[in-house]
Structure 1
Amino acid sequence: MLMRDQEPATAADLAAMRVDYGAHLPEPEEADLDESWVAGGWEPLLRRWIEQARGLGVAEPNAMVLATVSLTGPAPRPVARTVLCKGLSPEGVTFYTNYDSAKGNQLAADPYAAASFVWPALARQVHVRGVTERVSAEVTAAYWQARPRDARLGAWASQQSRPVTSRAELDRALAETTARFADVDDIPVPPFWGGYLLRPDEVEFWQGRRGRLHNRIVARIEATGTTVERLQP
């Protein structure tokens, strides 16, 4: 929705929007992303890039666009939304959601997913692709303990992805949930809520460079080991 003092962008304006990466990178121009950067595995580099984004004041540096596959229509179709990465290990990236949400139902039908971290201020992206699986109840419980009370109440109050007639109805649901747990110090984990581990079989690192000759390095993870190669931009 446009503010009253904003003018809509024309097609010409959109076509002219361009950043020539390279002039504002956190490392010198000569420090090109190289296959050796993932010699110790993909996870340390992704973790370092997230930490560097946080150090530069990037809002939600752990945000990632999660894409799943919907099988409910006449043909499979991709569905994407932004979630927060709440766990990172050599096994994969972890996020949490309502199991009965759209993404939860889609992952139940087809567990394959992809997640993209994007930091334009650093001229970097990371794409993680692979199969998801639910984390254990113990892992979910440990993360749940770190969530603020308001976030816990919201998880109980929201029937995520389902239609709601108005904001007022949603506010009433939250008020009812707040009253329900008013005398409960430790709000329990909802049985319909928990974590997923996206276990990658492919992780791609992208680094912007001048003239659109970007650096792309992909690590492909197999049972026999990991192969790393450079892709053309």
Structure 2
Amino acid sequence: MFPIEPKKILIGFICADFFILALYLLFANHPLLGERVDLGQEGNLPTWYSSFKFTLAAIAALHCYFQGKQTPYNRGWLLVTGLMLLMSIDETGQFHETATRWLMESSGGNNLRDYFLVSKEGGALLWTLIFSPIILLVGGALSVFYYLQFRAHPHLFVAGLVLVGLFALAAGLETMQAKILGAENYLDASSWSQFKIFSTLEEMAELLGATLLLWIHYSFAWLKNNTSPE
């Protein structure tokens, strides 16, 4: 069921992450390929690749459920599977950004933009602040669940903390991008260059975080498969 060792999975997807980065750096200004490999664009190769990883993470989480004992804690893997599928769908559909744009059209959204000195163009990048209560609730619950599951495999829990840090870094960088778009001189060369750097770092943090997420689930399923009695 799991013929590939987890270490090879991790190395392979990290190499793929940096291959995506290399494509972007090489072809960012290409008239035909530029948008297809742009890390900051939606509906292109990096987006579909990231969605694919979340789908694989969902499949691995489902394997963890079927291979575990039928306890209340083990049923949490079904919730994790659903969460990974939602993240996969949202990665391609960008529903969180659509919802944020809609909220930003309200008076409350205008007040939020004014408070953070963010322009209308950068309003959608504030989704991490708008949905922060939900993000913190889900992230906290997921961390507790991982701790309960990975107590016998602390390296997996440490990897989980690292991926939380990567996603938090990505959220912070996205907020900084919104601040840049709110500046009066955001169209000058220096500000735009800074925006692109933050955007690239943010997307790479998300790609590497998704890779760790997939690896954690796959590793746990692989360990359970190899320690299960024949």
Same fold by TM-score, threshold 0.5 exceeded? no
TM-score when normalising by structure 2 = 0.27
Greater fraction of residues in strand: 1
Greater fraction of residues in helix: 2
TM-score when normalising by structure 1 = 0.27
- Structure number with larger C-alpha Rg: 1
